[in-house]
Amino acid sequence: MTTPSSQRPVGPLSVALVSEHASPLAALGGVDAGGQNVHVARLASGLADRGHRVTVFTRRDDEDQPDEVEVRPGVVVHHVPAGPPEAVPKDELLPYMPEFGRHMAEVLRDEPPDLMHSHFWMSGIAALLATRALHVPLLHTYHALGTVKRRHQRAADTSPPQRIAYERQVGLACDRIVATCRDEVHELSRMHIPPDRVSVVPCGVDPEQFCPAGPVAERGEARYRLVQLGRLVPRKGAAVSITALTRLPDAELVIVGGPPPARLDGDPEVRRLRDVARLAGVAERVRFTGAVSRDDVAPMLRSADVVVCPADYEPFGIVPLEAMACGRPVVASAVGGQLDTVADPQCGRLVPPRDPDALARAVAEFLADASLRASCGAAGRRRVLSRYDWTRVAAATEAVYGEVCATARSTVSGAA
């Protein structure tokens, strides 16, 4: 495992980011729209701020989407015609990756980028095809690993059966893996991918958008408010939060994410969680907001006394960072990237996954002590500013790009 070096600034690069299912333009909160969308969007913007030209390749999922959208100076989103121009679950996209890769190679043939950086395993497959044709370096970020998903979801894992084999192929064939946390490096080692192929650069957060000062979402009548934010899928642990609420009689739980509000009643996961709340006797203290706009996320977090992140597993987890940036204490499961981001006891608590009693105890400690909430919230904000703002993340990613490009140049000159 390597950490990005503090080398001299890297000259302007042409960078192709590949994010096959997670468009930086997508609305957040859906089943396949979450942290990766934010990561790719913010990384692209951060790289552009440093003078690089970035093209994000993502799949066209609507026939009305233009070929290209200029998001801001230096960042263009290119919609790739691979598969039908409609929403397709990400676990069904594998057959379209060869078409995706060929399209990128054709579009970039006359003016290849300096490097390509793929995000998620299927993007890696498409990017391998393209970079072999273009003869440019490839970096890869997994965002999630099939070995972890299969371990936790077992028969409920809907990933294609070839996923893990493809992930190992991408990891061994690319020029550098950019992992988001130390736990991922250990998982890759178990897949026989050497740590010296891996650099660790965390995900980030915008500390100006996510800050303690600003609008606050309206609260209900309960004395305390817990907020859980993210995609509405079982692994995010909302049922654990609901069960924990039975030990927290003065609190309400607001679950943010999922389908648009008008479609909440028909959503299978919402119906399941409402049944959990009803059987637990806390239905009147659980509220589902549905998907909210990106501008409404920070006000929702500011309205919380405690933000809970009780996922069964979490490859990185951006929500804890967003909550910490807003000055709110976090109680999170001790898994994945949350082991790196949530410093216990300074800015939050780490608890075992799938343990509502442990979650309730940790939350109750914060609810009983306003000064503890304030001190942990302030410490979380400081931690974000010192480690996780996107300016730092973009600079660290740029440093890895510089190392890979320098190695590629020396290899080419050595071969000559």
Asked whether the predicted pLDDT for residue 29 surpasses 60, the reply is no
Asked whether the predicted pLDDT for residue 116 surpasses 80, the reply is yes
**pLDDT score for 271:** 97
Structure tokens at 129: 């095809």
Identify which of 294, 300, 288, 305 has the alpha carbon closest to the alpha carbon of residue 238: 288
Structure tokens at 389: 């703002």
Other beta carbons less than 10 A from residue 155's beta carbon: 6
Asked whether the predicted pLDDT for residue 71 surpasses 70, the reply is yes
Burial class (CB in 10 A: 0-12, 13-18, 19+), 55: buried
Mean pLDDT of 72-83: 97
pLDDT > 70 in the chain, percent = 94
Residue linked to tokens 């999170």: 332
CA 49 to chain CA centroid, nearest Å = 21
- Give residue 45's region: left, alpha or beta (phi > 0; psi -120 to 50): alpha
Bridge partners, 1 (sequence order): none
pLDDT > 90 in the chain, percent = 85
**pLDDT score for 32:** 44
Identify which of 366, 324, 378, 331 has the alpha carbon closest to the alpha carbon of residue 224: 366
Mean pLDDT of 309-321: 92
- Weakest-pLDDT range from 26-40, 59-73, 149-163, 199-213: 26-40
331, 356 contact by CB (below 8 A): no
Identify which of 159, 162, 161, 107 has the alpha carbon closest to the alpha carbon of residue 129: 107
Mean pLDDT of 215-222: 95
**pLDDT score for 212:** 98
**pLDDT score for 392:** 95
Identify which of 97, 131, 135, 132 has the alpha carbon closest to the alpha carbon of residue 117: 131
- Give residue 354's region: left, alpha or beta (phi > 0; psi -120 to 50): left
287, 220 contact by CB (below 8 A): yes
CA distances from 15 to 23, 58, 136 (A): 16, 14, 10
Asked whether the predicted pLDDT for residue 31 surpasses 50, the reply is no
Count of CA atoms in the C-beta half-sphere (13 A) of 137: 22
Query: Would you give the end-to-end CA distance of the chain in angstroms?
Result: 30
**pLDDT score for 294:** 84
Q: Give 370-398 pLDDT, tens digit per residue.
A: 999 999 999 999 999 999 999 999 999 99
- Mean pLDDT in the chain? 93
**pLDDT score for 275:** 98
| Choice between 38 and 106, residue whose per-residue pLDDT is larger | 106
What CA dihedral angle connects 25, 327, 227 and 153, to 10 degrees? 70
Mean pLDDT of 208-222: 96
Q: Where are the beta strands (DSSP E) in 239-370?
A: 251-256, 286-290, 306-309, 330-333, 348-351
**pLDDT score for 376:** 98
Residue linked to tokens 């940790």: 362
**pLDDT score for 36:** 86
Ordered domains of the chain (ranges, CATH):
14-204+389-415 (3.40.50.2000), 224-387 (3.40.50.2000)
Q: Give 333-351 pLDDT, tens digit per residue.
A: 999 999 999 999 999 999 9
CA 259 to chain CA centroid, nearest Å = 18
- Weakest-pLDDT range from 102-116, 152-166, 175-189: 152-166
What are the DSSP calls for 19-48, one per residue?
-SS--TTSPSSSTT-SHHHHHHHHHHHHHH
128, 21 contact by CB (below 8 A): no
